[in-house]
Amino acid sequence: MSENRTRFRLDQRRAPIYEALEQFRQMRVVPFDVPGHKRGRGNPELTAFLGQQCVGVDVNSMKPLDNLCHPVSVIREAEELAADAFGAAHAFLMVGGTTSSVQSMVLTACKRGDEIILPRNVHRSVLNALVLCGAVPVYVNPEVDKRLGISLGMKREQVAKAIKEHPNAVAVLVNNPTYYGICSDLRAIVKMAHEAGMLCLADEAHGTHFYFGNGLPVSAMAAGADMASVSMHKSGGSLTQSSLLLIGPNVHQGYVRQIINLTQTTSGSYLLMSSLDISRRNLALRGRQVFHQVADMAEYAREEINAVGGYYAFGKELCNGNSVFDFDTTKLSVHTLDIGLAGIEVYDILRDEYDIQIEFGDIGNILAYLSIGDRPQEIERLVSALAEIKRRYHTDGTGLLSQEYIDPVVAASPQEAFYAPKKSLPLRETEGMVCSEFVMCYPPGIPILAPGERITKEILNYIEYAKAKGCSMTGPEDPDILHLNVLA
């Protein structure tokens, strides 16, 4: 613990929101406020399901517990501790997931008509933010690894070219890392953005552990980025839907708070906030040791899975110094096509026949998400199941698609297309039309189509193939995706 504590200015053993809730629990306050379940008494079934410990602290904002919209006491202290732990100038506790964090980040940087440079393989939350604010995307289309069918990071020269061709752009957004663990040269991109007078934003939904890991890729704050959205609930161990928004010293804290308050709830969940507080404390005190163990488990799993044959659990060998500048070794991504199965098929077999739930399966790959709660015995169970699946289901993979990413043809801004007059057409009749809604496999939530993009035969083939293989398709108004909304 002493090694970790030397990194921090503040006492990271503190958890002020948790401490205030514990004190509140002992006060036996009579509740004539919301929520209406009144510490669980009004909803015994919910209390039996979640437990008295949980519903007893599902409370509303009050003076002793501070207010998320305008924190002045315990929430403010928790944010200061989070900023200290993550090396940020300020941290905001977010209770709308990293979607809310990403949207607040983009809305802070961009106004209507502003250009923002970003890779097309961003999460839908980024493009949702462009629909809301009216900013215009300048896409840096990532390279694709032909064997794996996955999109890579942004090349330095691609970013430099985009900055040169769009000097009035206000920001550059970077995935750090991608869902598959691929990292761009973040330090170089930050430097290029700042030299051009632009902000650098990082979507770190899958990079919480970068702040507490030896030998892992650089974190956004360490690289000098201006803002970063961090999914504490993914690798950080907090409750689902809890997140952090980090900012650097050159971003106005008060303005960011105003942007957050445009869309974030005024009834912040103390369950989510306390989970952020406790999880931050856990990572600050034990994160380096824990994530070292996670990386070791993932490396062991890669070796064992590759020894099975047929699968390819990829890792740092993909690094090329540019489009794959670094790789997150905690990510256990496995290519499955060589055993004749799409990733989503392996995903379904693991869940249905082996009671193993992995993060996602797509056309060519699966991702097993390893973090602070995993143990070696679960790794052994996963490896054994994959070996047995290969033995039972191995087949000829001829005819399987591999491409996960298709370069878009942008015909209108996301906001223009989303709010424009539209009509619904059968899927195959939309070829050549401009889409006005999102289509994606979830997870990972990276759009195959976004509002304003032209629909091509290749995209339609991909949608039908992904549906046939069992991918969970989301986004369109038609839940069966037999029709798409297009510009009228």
The domain limits of the chain are 2-13+64-283, 286-393, 414-487
Q: Looking at residues 212-230, what average pLDDT do you find? A: 96
Task: Select the more confidently predicted residue: 350 or 147.
Answer: 350
411 has pLDDT over 60? yes
Q: Are 447 and 439 contacting, i.e. CB atoms less than 8 angstroms apart?
A: yes
- The residues that bridge with 139 in the sheet, in sequence order, are 118
| Class level of CATH domain 286-393 | alpha beta
Would you put residue 149 in left (φ > 0), alpha (ψ -120 to 50) or beta? left
In 3D space, the residue among 252, 279, 245, 256 whose CA is nearest the CA of residue 96 turns out to be: 245
CATH number attached to the domain at 2-13+64-283: 3.40.640.10
Percent of the chain with pLDDT over 90: 86
CATH number attached to the domain at 414-487: 3.90.105.10
Residue 425, phi then psi, degrees to nearest 5: -130, 150
- Location of structure tokens 């899958």: 206
In 3D space, the residue among 306, 392, 384, 313 whose CA is nearest the CA of residue 345 turns out to be: 392
Distance CA 246, CA 221 (A): 8
Would you put residue 6 in left (φ > 0), alpha (ψ -120 to 50) or beta? alpha
pTM: 0.94
Residue 353, phi then psi, degrees to nearest 5: -110, -15
What is 37-68 written as a DSSP string?
A: TTTTTT-HHHHHHH-HHHHTT----BGGGB-T
What is 166-208 written as a DSSP string?
A: -TT--EEEEESS-TTSEE--HHHHHHHHHHTT-EEEEEETT-G
Mean pLDDT, rounded, of the chain: 94
183 has pLDDT over 70? yes
Q: Looking at residues 306-323, what average pLDDT do you find? A: 97
Specify the pLDDT at position 403.
67
Specify the pLDDT at position 453.
94
Looking at 327-432, list the stretches that DSSP marks H as alpha helix, in order from N- to C-terminal side.
343-354, 376-393, 414-419
Distance CA 435, CA 452 (A): 6
Tens of pLDDT, residue by residue over 316-359, are 999 999 999 999 999 999 999 999 999 999 999 999 999 999 99
